A and B are shown apart, each in its own frame.
Chain A
Amino acid sequence: MRNRLINFGLLMIVLLTSACGRGNTTEPVTFMVFGEPAELKAYQDLVDAFQKLSTDIAIELIHIPSQGDYRKRLTADLVGGAPADVVLINYRNFSGLALKNAFEPLGPYLEKSSEIKYEDFYALPMRAFSINDQVVCIPQNISSLVTYYNRDLFDVAGIPYPNDSWTWDDFISAAQALTLDTNQDGSIDQFGAGVEPDFIRVAPFIWQNGGKLSSERTLTLTDPLELEAVQWFVDWQVKYHIVPGAVEEKAESSESRFMNGRTAIYFNSRRLVPTLREITAFDWDVAPLPVGGSEFTILHSDAYCLTAASQHKEAAWTFIEFVNSVAGQTIIAQTGRTVPSLIQVAESDVFLDPKAKPEHSRVFIDVIPYILRLPQQANWSDIEEICNEELQRAFYGNATVTEAMQSAVSRALPLFTENE
């Protein structure tokens, strides 16, 4: 009696464990990406093209919409011992994982490849994904922070479009003129600008003002030039009110407002383009960031990494090689998602065609000499999180910039000396 029951129970357990779908069967190479639906479509096109060429390798696409959740997902997967074979990863999250040997260095594969060579790529993103001069992952893009703007709203207000020599002051006065209470009800219906009050958004302005963000031992955000830049950024909300405040942002995000034509300027990187291309209600274009003491902007780059735990390294490399060849990068560049890391593709009409929006994609190439990247540090993402929280506190008027930056510096201090 008892035995029968135990057997029954065990049978149930076995059935349940084996019958339910496992993500990693022996066949397909799993490829994990993040991004909005329009971006996802870009990757799907890529996978489809690859499948046509290599019919014996199956690719399973896994999609996580947000980067925040993506990082947790990747962490859980690595801990779970069953990560995807190929993962797309941002260079800011890269170092911590690479230093834990989560990835199989692709440098040796690259050297043996007949399709692609190190020299074919822009050097900056390659360096961002190298550890001790060895290439670990292959970057797909050399994107940066730029200014998106709604042409129609500028036309209506009679303000000239942003251009290469647009200064900080030009930006502020334009945004002020574009912040309107259209129905006279006391609350702002159209904002001049929108931005996520994140550390990576303020970093370019800190560099432009002569700051350096961090030294080997600490963040340098409390240096006068850096404080000045942060203050100017925070003033967008606190002083000039050209961007939504905490309440407005919570009610409707800046990105949503821009998409729906209720904000004139929005700061983001190239990855927004596929989603922007779906807009039919108004005309939009791109311009470099407003210029301060210099023209710096910040690197945004994602790379294809091969996880060390992968069971299909050769097949996965074939896929990675394809997506980073001229053919692969062309496909994804056509969707608008990337500023290709292959020099040949970036400078071709595939990317630069003025008939494909944004008309001035040229901007992304022109700023390349001015792109700076964040430090490569094991716990950089933790440091960034702290900075984000402190920056937001100041941005929404709940603390002075000095207080917030001092707090950020002291809170991040242990992370610089932590030996992980």
Chain B
Amino acid sequence: MLTPYLLGAALLVGVPALLSLVLAFIRYDGISAPLWVGWFNFRIVLANPVDLLFPISLYNTLYFIILAVPIRVLSALALALWLNRRGRGVGLYRAAVYLPTIIPDAAYALIWMWIFNPLYGPLNLILTALGLPAPGWLADAEFAKLVFVVMAAFQIGEGFVVLLAGLQNIPPEYYAAAAVDGGSTWQQFRYITLPLLAPWLLLLTLRDIILSSQNIFTANFIMTNGDPYYSTLFLPLLIYEEAFDRMHFGPGSAMTVLLGIVTAALIGFALSSVGNWGETDAD
């Protein structure tokens, strides 16, 4: 019964992952025969003195992750706490929060391209009407990355639901006991909610770090393709261009491996800074 799942996973994920690792050490352009080149690909990706596209895209990707992930996790937490109650319409409010998440990627990208249209989009029209500065968004290297952060901030549906489930798993007796002992709302949050929610928060953060760095591809591809002047060149796009535009599968795979290493490092960092929180479990 497990065969299709395990076999499929091996074929679709396991084998390609290993192959990717191997490809990183090979020169292959899809047409001519492959050729083993050792560390060459890593060297040209990392140490190319003239073309710094990899470091630039790494910086862009990290910038995005460091901004987007905390915003997403904290928003999801805030909304989960806010909407963790009974009442008429609560279901609708929750649905509204989840709604942007189900919009298909390609359409989502086009919608925000319109919203952030620097001259005619609703956002800048509102800002101008309020007398606030209306930046060039995707046309301005300083602001372009923020567009992606905002887009990511709206799609917190999944995190929201996970945290909501986590909150509902907390036995109400704990809160009742705390209330009897005279604990304030803040204390209840700090000493009951947060520790019990911690594993969920951690999982969510880790998952977000990993997914943020790659889910950005579709929006990136459709909205800016790296412009202006590489300020929105994120790693998945660079990998795609390197492999499918310039036919350099070797460096593309090397970059993929490096991305994996960086992600693992981020995860390690996140884990170590919240180390002891992850040990208690509601069960």
Q: Which residues of A contact B (CB under 8 A)?
A: 2, 5-6, 9, 68, 71-72, 75-76, 78-80, 100-102, 187, 246-252, 382, 386, 389, 392-393, 396, 398, 410-411, 413-414, 420
Contacts and interface: CB of A to CB of B under 8 A. Distances in A.
Interface string B17-38: 0000000000001111000000
Contact of A252 (B30, B119, B141, B229): B119
B141 A75 contact: no
A82 B174 CA distance: 64
Contacts of B7: 9
B1 A5 contact: yes
A5 B3 CA distance: 9
B28 to A, nearest CB: 9
A75 B244 contact: yes
A398 B51 contact: no
Contacts of B3: 2, 5-6, 9
B245 interface: yes
Contacts of B32: 100
Interface residues of B, number: 30
B51 A414 contact: yes
Nearest to B117: A251
19 contacts: A72-B245, A79-B30, A100-B32, A102-B31, A247-B139, A250-B117, A250-B136, A250-B138, A251-B119, A251-B139, A389-B227, A392-B228, A392-B229, A393-B228, A398-B141, A398-B228, A398-B229, A414-B48, A414-B51
B29 A252 contact: no
Nearest to B141: A398
Interface in B225-239: 225, 227-230
Interface in B46-103: 48, 50-51
Contacts of B230: 389
B4 A389 contact: no
Contacts of B139: 246-247, 249-251, 396
A410 B117 contact: no
B118 interface: yes
Contact of A78 (B30, B50, B118): B30
4 tightest Cβ-Cβ pairs between the two chains A and B: A79-B30, A251-B119, A250-B139, A246-B139
Contact of A246 (B31, B117, B136, B246): B136
Interface of B: 1, 3-4, 7, 29-32, 48, 50-51, 117-121, 136, 138-141, 225, 227-230, 244-247
Contacts of A78: 30-31
Contacts of B229: 389, 392-393, 398
A246 B138 CA distance: 9
A368 B50 CA distance: 38
Nearest to A410: B50
B4 A250 contact: no
Given A78-B30, A246-B140, A398-B228, 16 more contacts: A9-B3, A72-B244, A72-B245, A75-B245, A75-B247, A76-B244, A102-B31, A187-B119, A247-B119, A247-B140, A250-B138, A389-B229, A393-B228, A396-B139, A396-B228, A398-B229
A133 to B, nearest CB: 24
A73 to B, nearest CB: 9
A392 B141 CA distance: 12
Between A250, A382, A393, A414, the greatest number of chain B beta carbons within 10 A of the residue's beta carbon is seen for A250
B119 A248 contact: yes
A247 B120 contact: no
Nearest to B1: A5
* Overall SS of chain A's interface: helix
Contacts of A249: 139
A80 B31 CA distance: 9
Nearest to A71: B245
A413 B50 contact: yes
A420 B244 CA distance: 16
B1 A247 contact: no
Given A9-B3, A389-B229, A398-B229, A414 B50 contact: yes
Contacts of B138: 250
Contacts of A247: 118-119, 136, 139-140
A256 to B, nearest CB: 12
A253 to B, nearest CB: 12
B117 A9 contact: no
Contacts of A76: 244
Contacts of B1: 2, 5
Contacts of B244: 72, 75-76, 79
Contact of B50 (A6, A72, A79, A411): A411
Nearest to A2: B3
A386 B241 CA distance: 13
A397 to B, nearest CB: 11
A278 to B, nearest CB: 24
Central interface residue in A71, A396, A410, by most chain B CB within 10 Å: A396
Contacts of A79: 29-31, 244, 247
Contacts of B48: 414
Contacts of A414: 48, 50-51
A100 B227 CA distance: 30
A252 B228 contact: no
